[in-house]
A and B are shown apart, each in its own frame.
Chain A
Amino acid sequence: MKRLVLRLRAEPDQRLDLSPLVPERLAGRNTREIGTIAIHTTRRAVTIGDMFDLSIGDVETIVIEGGSDRLDRVGEAMSRGTLVVEGDVGNRAGRAMTGGRLMIRGHAGHWTASGNKAGRIEVAGDVGDRLAGPLPGEIRGMSGGLVVVRGKAGERAGDRLRRGILIVEGAAAAYAGSRMLAGTLIVGGDIGPEAGYLLRRGTIVVGAETGVSATFVDCGVQELVANRLMAAFLAADSAVAASLLRRPLRRFAGDMAVLGKGEIFVVT
């Protein structure tokens, strides 16, 4: 079936809120109705029709052609269907998703996948800070689903992660996996200082020889069945993560400054 395609005409002159562009909010609407949906974030009103050329199709698969780091809240609270962005997006892409698939072929901003509950998010490029993390005032970050970032991640990737799997195939900046409650963060490249800061439970896997902070304690090199098992489940989503999990890894338990039931695996 034909897909719903939105072609960005020009670089927006204000930040846009694209959260209405999800299958469940577009279902049953025609081109004209979709064109009148407001997406402005300043006092100057802007609609979808003002910014995009529409080529109507099945709303279960939405394609946004062209990108900008001013396209905020792409796929926010999406529960089903597929949303593809052929370019960059701004902040909060895929926030609080409860299902469906979000594919971003460019870079994404801060709070990507923030508070994601289910569904699959893939970013071909890099992401900003606080990948999957909570917004100010929220208690938990991501609580389910799978996020794959092919590039690198900014600071505090996986902040307050509760459940689910986060894969960053490139490097992650400082405080990766900070305050994690559970879940899994896999970083294919190097990791910045203070990874796993105040992590209570959960797993961080690092694909580079790196030191960990002083409050993580060395538990020796392990070849665990659980890691092989996870590798088998993740092989189709990330070859980088799967091959990393199949290597012997040094296990550090921590963060002993808090509960200490978590772990960081590091290649040796």
Chain B
Amino acid sequence: MTLYEGIALIQEKQAVVLDLGTDYTKFGFTGEAAPRCIIRSEFWCPAERRDKRVYDYHTAEELYDNLVHMLHLLYYRHVLVNPKERKVVVVESLLTPTLFRETLAKVLFTHYEVSGVVWADSPRLCAITLGIPIALVVSIGAREAEVCAVVHASVVLRAIQSQPLAARAIHDELSRLLDEDNNSILHLPDHIIEDIKVKACFVGPRSRAVEWLEGNGPTPAKSVQYPVAGRAAITVSGRTRELAAEPLFARDNDMASLPDIVLQCIIQCPIDARRALAENILVTGGTASMPGLKARLAHELRHLVTQPPYRGVSKALTGLSPVAIKTIYNRAPDYYKSGPHKFTILPCPYGYNNHMSMFRSDRLHVREFKFHKSSCHDNACAWTGGALVAGADGGARALARDVFTRERRLRDWPCLLDNTPPDHPHRLYRDELSISAFAVQHNMSTRLFFLQACPAQRIIRDARYLLKWHTSRPRLPNGWSLWTSRPLDTQRLVDHDFSYGYARKSRPQHLI
């Protein structure tokens, strides 16, 4: 008997998985199929006498306090374990602000004294719940819709798409439509808007949406009276119920609607992965469970792929000789700012490195879209992936506490210290390179900024150089690529050591 107890003592404590979403926090143990709790990301703040949201912060200190309070709530009210000497899996977006990440690390390591933290990004974790090597993860959360391509356990970083098309956009539209329905400004609180959305709203099919857009709408669904305490009931018309989620699909010249960013993500991926990506789409996130949303996204994708610019060579380029195209290519930035063909060129949301997309994406070689059904609820998909990963290897990839206390920094993909290829000349001078340059990049508020890489400051020059190095493949001496970290034929567990990938295997880019 005593022997067994001894073994139990030696055994590693079951790790916890933390997914701190903008609206809802998922928290539970590894190796379990569902989180123990899904609660709103807010806590009672006695100083301000109100429920305070975790993401409601202005300074690093305020964020630190918020996180301490939130984790206290999670550990001692919901999961009921000691945080001390227990590993944590943090599920995070690739675009989490650096400040948030580092503050969370500080809170976990110094305040709660956890023994290790596995930093895992949500797209790869979502892909893990499917058990497939290539997946296109469309995650629609509270604030943003993110589209990431996961190819053989690495994320195609330069193809990440992110737009504010998620629950907030729907809530805004819903409250606008409700005001229209009731002919007054209602000023409904957020939780009522959310409740109306959950109970009454749905996403109609494309055919009906087109009818609505043309003015003579189809027969609307039944309207409903929503009772609100202390005031007259609110009318929710059939039109409102159906059109609340329309902003996600509304197209304009920016081509930043949800189906558009899905296609753009596919376009910016290596050509040999595109078809596989289109046939392995996973739509997740809390908002994805809105009735009809997945079906609508499928309709829109199948329609859009037959439309320019996703099909056929850009009009601007047809009939031009290769030399002419090459000239345009060389002058591209000026050209598309002022040229007469501005509208025919695929817009490049992240500027600089993407203006080439019009050349490589003149035809999206995709005919079919297939969708996965995940083996968990939509809102806990990334969480489940985290529970799987750390459950499988016991959190062996965790950043240990003593390592963190020694180095005082986290590995991060936008940081040059971590993303310089091993045989890059800068690698030799890594330590001699100006620390300030690294500091600048490391403190960027949004990771997206790195992808943009637009500012002309000299200090960013190194970053831009590297970015070119990563993205324009024909120039690379020996085929480094950012998109795969593993040989294509093997299928491995996600490597959480930030091997966003420098693999030797790459195919020629579909360039002119």
Q: Say if A and B assemble together.
A: no
Q: Show the binding face of B for A, using Cβ within 8 Å.
A: none
